[in-house]
Amino acid sequence: MEKVLSGIRPTGNLHLGNYFGALQNFVKMQKENNCFFFIADYHSLTTHPTSHNLHANVKNVLAEYLAAGIDPEIATIYIQSDLPETAELYLLLNMNAYLGELERATSFKDKIRSQPNNVNAGLLTYPTLMAADIIIHKATKVPVGKDQEQHLEMTRTFARRFNRMYNVDFFPEPVAYNFGKNLIKIPGLDGSGKMGKSETGNNAIFLIDEPKVIRKKIMRAVTDAGPTKMNQKKPVSIENLFSIMKAVSSPDTVAYFDELYNNCNIRYGDMKKQLAEDIIKFTTPLRNRIIELLADNDYLRKVAKQGAEKAHESASKTIKEVREIIGIKAI
């Protein structure tokens, strides 16, 4: 059985980008594969070092995972800091990770720009921790969005380097995975970039957002002037609305607005109204389930405990072998 792993940082609530980029694919894979899903709380400390609500965020994300359809009886769901083997493998991988390659990571360069007063070592070595998350279970497929592609490339480099340095065929080289050919990027509502957990939260639709909040965010989403020529290429902001619509609406609805656009008859207000209602239809059952799960702390605790035990079984075997390969043995 192939091993599949994915994860998310608990820095806020899950949004449509997380869902369509990573979760949906993972849920589809859980029956046929040996699946691990984890909450990357160590990783979140690279950007939120004094997070006063880390604990609440971890709990939220756990409830959101479960609401999205991850079945803890089939897959293994755990919290990163419950698995110290990951931290040990991270340390060992760091010994063979080079400053130059770590500095070249796009995510690191972005963070230097976005948090110049906190360029910490955790940010620099973010890719080695992520590689450790993946290869501690010898996972081969990693359902993620497009923004994680480079991290997967670096994971393959670290796995390959380990095999070469110690002359073993130990770690497989994992790939970023999507059922479709291409990895997904759900755009944000501000007319550029990707949907993400921005300061204001206005760039993203969260699974937990109430219908009236969704309507407001969508109606405020950036749009361009209407088309003036038939079959005109769509500007980025309009292409973005269509991308979100493709994720949540029926193909007929998308085709309907596409035709209106191409005939220059589109009214963005109408398109946005439809989009908001389709998002609400999609998120409402998830939202209800999240609220239900958050009220059941005993259940969440049980899931986390059971997940930690299952993850430990898989990881302890790997770390034991890694220690032997490197030569860390009893005297």
User: Which residues form the catalytic set?
Assistant: 111, 194, 197
The verdict on 148 binding ligand TYM (CB under 6 A) reads yes
Give the largest Cα separation in the chain, rounded. 79
- Listed residue (42, 130, 123) closest to 93, CA to CA: 130
Neighbours of 162 (CB within 10 A): 21
Closest distance of CB 263 from ligand TYM, Å: 30
Instruction: Please choose, out of 65-73, 81-89, 178-186, 304-312, the segment that lies near ligand TYM by the rule CB under 6 A.
Output: 178-186
Binding mask 261-290 for ligand TYM (x = CB under 6 A): ------------------------------
What is the spatial distance between Cα 244 and Cα 221, in angstroms, rounded to a whole number? 12
What is the spatial distance between Cα 132 and Cα 313, in angstroms, rounded to a whole number? 16
Distances in Å between the Cα of 51 and the Cα atoms of 110, 112, 322 are 21, 19, 33
User: Nearer Cβ to ligand TYM, position 176 or 266?
Assistant: 176
Binding mask 221-260 for ligand TYM (x = CB under 6 A): ----------------------------------------
User: Nearer Cβ to ligand TYM, position 85 or 133?
Assistant: 133
What is the spatial distance between Cα 286 and Cα 97, in angstroms, rounded to a whole number? 40
Out of 45, 58, 67, 142, the only residue in the binding site for ligand TYM (CB under 6 A) is 142
Closest distance of CB 243 from ligand TYM, Å: 9
CB 186 within 8 Å of CB 144: no
Instruction: Retrieve residue 22's tokens.
Output: 């990573």
Query: Which one-letter DSSP state was computed for residue 7?
Result: E
The verdict on 75 binding ligand TYM (CB under 6 A) reads no
Contacts of 259 (CB under 8 A, 6+ apart): none
Instruction: Retrieve residue 165's tokens.
Output: 């340095």
Distance of CA 319 to the CA centre of its chain: 25
Closest distance of CB 222 from ligand TYM, Å: 16
Distances in Å between the Cα of 288 and the Cα atoms of 55, 69, 212, 285, 301 are 22, 13, 15, 5, 20
Instruction: Please choose, out of 6-14, 115-123, 241-249, 274-282, the segment that lies near ligand TYM by the rule CB under 6 A.
Output: 6-14
- The residue at minimum Cβ distance from ligand TYM is 21
Tokens 């939260």, located at residue: 201
The verdict on 85 binding ligand TYM (CB under 6 A) reads no
Instruction: Please choose, out of 141-149, 219-227, 248-256, 280-288, the segment that lies near ligand TYM by the rule CB under 6 A.
Output: 141-149
Instruction: Please choose, out of 180-188, 218-226, 228-236, 295-303, the segment that lies near ligand TYM by the rule CB under 6 A.
Output: 180-188
User: Nearer Cβ to ligand TYM, position 141 or 287?
Assistant: 141
Q: Report the interface residues with ligand TYM, using CB under 6 A.
A: 5-9, 17-18, 20-22, 40, 43, 130, 133-134, 142, 144-145, 147-148, 184-186, 194-196
